[in-house]
Structure 1
Amino acid sequence: MEDILKLDFWEMIIRTTMTFIVLLILARFMGKKQISQLTFFHYVTGITIGSIAADIAGESKMPFLDGLVAMVWWAVLTILTNYLAFKSKKARAFLDDKPTIIIREGKLMKKSMEKTRLHLNDLSMMLREQSIFSIKDVHYAILETNGQLSVMKKSDQEPATKKDVKAPAPPPKFIPTEIISDYKLIPENLEELNLTEEWLKEELIKQGIGHISQVFYAEVQSDGTLHVDMGEG
């Protein structure tokens, strides 16, 4: 009986050590993301891989190689979906969803809140976490794919700037919005801003750029100007 207990103990030590090493290698290949950046898909995937690893280490009924193959294959599937999401905007939207505008120009978007199942109490709490205690102080609020709320305050609510020195505080013309990403135009964003491709081409020409395909990333700023990044390296 004592020999069997010893065997089980050392078997557990070996299984745990091997699982730890494999998990460490897989984590290295799966890429770097902070916890706050994880979407629901990545969060569930991480929990699943951890659960498989725990079963391999602590459950003697699970054949070691079978469990190891399951864990490695799950990680491979995750890497493949991440690669697909990196290459395809449609796949990225399917896997990670899209950011949702919750407050637009100071007005709550009821349908967006219903779609994301976000209650007013939850929204108020998320705003308070950013030291915003009144919805009326918010010009735009966007629920990101990781569940975090990004907020643009109204111009006259920015700390110690225009309001304090009694300077004019006109509302921003636009919410900063990407219109070119990875050398590709995002027509729906351009349409959302009521801008045209002709306008974009004229703005690019002003900056000495002849074609959209030359631009890695472009974003319309709140004052209507165009920020362009050609993508170095």
Structure 2
Amino acid sequence: MNSYLDIVIRSVVVYLFMLAAIRFFGKKELSQLNSADIILILLISNSVQNAMVGSNSSLEGGLIAALALFLINLLFKKIMYKFKAVNDLVEDKPTILIHNGHLDFSALSKLEITSQELEEVIREHGVQHFNEVKLAMMEIDGNISVISGKTALKQTHHKRKIHKTLGTLNN
């Protein structure tokens, strides 16, 4: 087989593997880059480099691998946009954490968010108690959106990411 075609195939396989791994281990946590996450990304990139280019360490081999990754990413985004089932498989849904002052403890447990962490999020946005929150949601990008139940003129919408360590990734 052509060595450049081999690089393209290897790069696509690594891309699909990484996509599945991020989905399995929780992209919400990985989207919040702390020191451990940066180290993980650097080590993963180093560990899969040889898997993509094999023994070809030429400039052309590296550029072909990078081009293959850009193209598969573009193609995959178009597929996700066109086919809802694929998008649903890859992307998480927003999760309601508080609705009209009532906490959803099962959602908090599933996302491994403590009530103390959620209290901190709402306090940072000037809301003193859960019962003052109209809606709090964990968005698909890992942010928590908080909408207070105050009057329409004073209503606010804030976002804050919950930071998790790699040791707690259990999704």
TM class by shorter chain equals: 0.5 to 0.7
User: How far apart in 2 are the matches of 1:106 and 1:159?
Assistant: 17
1:107-126 maps to which residues of 2 (within 5 A)?
A: 107-126=102-121
Structure 1 111/78 Cα, relative in aligned 2: closer, same or farther at 3 Å? same
Which one-letter code corresponds to 1:136 in the other structure? N
User: How far apart in 2 are the matches of 1:85 and 1:42?
Assistant: 20
Q: CA offsets per residue over residues 28-48 of structure 1, 9 Å max, x none?
A: xxxxxxxxxxx759959xx68
Question: Structure 1 stretches (4+) deviating beyond 3 angstroms?
Answer: 39-44, 155-158
Q: CA offsets per residue over residues 79-98 of structure 1, 9 Å max, x none?
A: 12211121122222222210
1:1-233 maps to which residues of 2 (within 5 A)?
A: 40=28, 43=31, 51=45, 62-156=57-151, 159=154
User: How far apart in 2 are the matches of 1:84 and 1:40?
Assistant: 21
Compute the RMSD of aligned alpha carbons. Answer: 3.5
Contact 1:84 1:91 in 2 (8 A): yes
User: How far apart in 2 are the matches of 1:83 and 1:73?
Assistant: 15
Please state how far the C-alpha of 1:124 moved relative to its aligned partner.
2.0
The SS at the match of 1:75 is helix
Structure 1 89/128 Cα, relative in aligned 2: closer, same or farther at 3 Å? farther
Contact 2:100 2:131 in 1 (8 A): no
Contact 1:106 1:137 in 2 (8 A): yes
Specify which structure has the higher proportion of helix.
2
Q: Which residue of 2 is the match for residue 208 of structure 1?
A: none
Contact 2:101 2:131 in 1 (8 A): yes
Which one-letter code corresponds to 2:140 in the other structure? T
Unaligned ranges ≥5, structure 1: 1-38, 56-60, 161-233
Please state how far the C-alpha of 1:62 moved relative to its aligned partner.
3.2
The SS at the match of 1:79 is helix
Who wins on radius of gyration, i.e. which is larger? Answer: 1
The SS at the match of 2:96 is strand
State the identity %: 23
Structure 1 132/90 Cα, relative in aligned 2: closer, same or farther at 3 Å? farther
Structure 1 128/85 Cα, relative in aligned 2: closer, same or farther at 3 Å? farther
Which one-letter code corresponds to 1:151 in the other structure? V
User: How far apart in 2 are the matches of 1:146 and 1:92?
Assistant: 14
Q: CA offsets per residue over residues 3-24 of structure 1, 9 Å max, x none?
A: xxxxxxxxxxxxxxxxxxxxxx
